[in-house]
């Protein structure tokens, strides 16, 4: 074996590769393993600059999330509505801790709260939260939706209320490759009737599209009723690629919302709150506290419910941040 120019053992005539942007700081060539003569892959440039990582993640978060648009002050009378995937009460530290989840629910101070994954998924679908303790602490009472005596939800979906009286209730088994469901609850509020649709969509795009179609078919039975749709919809794509695009005639353009997943460094807007008529949902945003980042892999999503628009002249559609719907000739059929 001959000695190379760098003093190491190597074969005569082997040319060293030129430096490129992925090399470590200070220049130099990619390291060569002289025993096998294989060129090792260099680390990306950004890995050598730790300070750039938060900025890169912030740019990614902005590109996946939608802008926040609100129009005017939010009335003091607006109710608080929220959605929270509790991840079967298992936190980001892998601990099962229902009391910690209950504490986050208390932080939200919601009047209407949709929960996902409140029951055990396999075996007997028993509820995981102490709902009596939650009611004592927050005033939120569980809508009796479960079909099993010790369950709390329908396919893991539960609805808790501090205001309103239930006047109608439907359980919807959603299509797809895995068991998924939605609940449709009609409420009577002092300001008038309100329909709440709480859902947990599937992991595959084609299944989510089918699930959207099933919910829209049900909503078409009672047109014109003020409606809130919320839950973990498992969609982060904006625009034409979104499985939620079919909601546009009823709820507005399918812009991405506030990032809620993963809770420790939220990048994806998997959780959504939609409302119709326009302006019903105001000030949507993630509930990002130290405990919320620990208690589940999702952050809660919260918003305000502006009751003053519930019986205003009908204007179709709004997304969580008050986006006006795009013109759509099919909107009247929604």
Q: Is residue 46 part of a domain?
A: no
CATH number at residue 101: 3.60.10.10
- Look over the chain and give the mean of its residue pLDDT values, rounded to a whole number: 81
116-146 per-position pLDDT tens digit:
999 997 767 899 999 999 999 999 999 999 9
| 65 lies in some domain | no
Q: Using alpha carbons only, what angle is made at residue 102 by residues 146 and 307, rounded to the nearest 5 degrees? A: 75
pLDDT mean over 187-211: 96
CB 266 within 8 A of CB 299: yes
Domain with 137 in it: 72-333
Give me the mean pLDDT over the 35-44 stretch. Answer: 53
Q: Does some domain include residue 33?
A: no
Q: Specify the 3-state DSSP secondary structure of 7.
A: coil
**Residue 102 reports pLDDT greater than 70:** yes
Cis peptide before 146 (omega within 30 of 0): no
CA 115 and chain centroid, separation: 12
Asked if pLDDT for residue 180 goes beyond 90, the answer is yes
Report the pLDDT value the prediction gives residue 238, as an integer from 0 to 100.
Answer: 82
In a domain, 59, yes or no: no
Q: Is 67 domain-assigned?
A: no
Q: How many domains does the chain have?
A: 1
User: Considering the domain boundaries, does residue 20 fall inside one?
Assistant: no
Q: Is residue 53 in a domain? A: no
HSE value, Cβ hemisphere, 13 Å, CA-based, for 96 = 7
Alpha helices in the chain (DSSP H): 52-64, 98-108, 131-138, 205-219, 248-251, 290-295
pLDDT in tens, 295-307: 999 999 999 999 8
pTM: predicted TM-score of the whole model, two decimal places: 0.76
Kindly tell me if the per-residue pLDDT of 331 is higher than 50.
no
Instruction: Extract the tokens encoding 311.
Output: 């019986």
- Look at residue 42 in the predicted model and tell me its pLDDT: 59
> 107-116 pLDDT, tens per residue?
999 999 999 9
Rounded Cα gap, residues 137 and 134, in angstroms: 5
Asked if residue 207 lies in contact with residue 244, where contact means CB atoms within 8 angstroms, the answer is no
Please report whether residue 146 resides in a domain. Answer: yes
């Amino acid at each position: 074996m001959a000695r190379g120019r760098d003093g190491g053992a190597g074969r005569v005539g082997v040319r060293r590769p030129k430096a490129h942007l992925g090399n470590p700081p200070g220049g130099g060539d990619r390291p060569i393993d002289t025993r096998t003569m294989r060129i090792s892959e260099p680390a990306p440039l950004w890995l050598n600059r730790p300070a750039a990582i938060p900025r890169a993640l912030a740019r990614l978060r902005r590109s996946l999330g939608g802008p926040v648009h609100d129009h005017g002050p939010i009335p003091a009378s607006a109710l608080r509505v929220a959605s929270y995937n509790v991840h079967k009460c298992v936190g980001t530290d892998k601990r099962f801790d229902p009391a910690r989840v209950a504490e986050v629910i208390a932080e939200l101070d919601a009047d209407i709260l949709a929960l996902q994954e409140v029951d055990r998924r396999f075996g007997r679908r028993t509820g995981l939260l102490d709902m009596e303790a939650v009611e004592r602490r927050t005033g939120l009472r569980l809508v009796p939706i479960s079909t099993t005596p010790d369950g709390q939800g329908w396919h893991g979906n539960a609805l808790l209320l501090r205001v309103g009286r239930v006047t109608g209730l439907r359980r919807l088994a959603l299509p797809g490759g895995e068991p998924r469901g939605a609940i449709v609850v009609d409420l009577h509020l002092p300001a008038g009737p309100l329909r709440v649709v709480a859902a947990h969509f599937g992991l595959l795009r084609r299944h989510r599209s089918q699930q959207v179609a099933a919910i829209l078919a049900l909503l078409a039975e009672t047109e014109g009723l003020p409606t809130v749709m919320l839950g973990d919809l498992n969609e982060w794509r904006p625009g034409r690629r979104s499985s939620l695009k079919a909601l546009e005639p009823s709820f507005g353009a399918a812009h991405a919302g506030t990032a809620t997943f993963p809770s420790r460094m939220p990048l994806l807007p998997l959780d959504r709150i939609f409302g119709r008529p326009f302006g019903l949902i105001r000030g949507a945003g993630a509930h990002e506290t130290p405990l919320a980042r620990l208690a589940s892999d999702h952050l809660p999503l919260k918003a305000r419910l502006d009751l003053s628009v519930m019986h205003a002249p009908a204007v179709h559609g709004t997304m969580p941040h008050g986006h006006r719907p795009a013109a759509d000739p099919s909107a009247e059929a929604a």
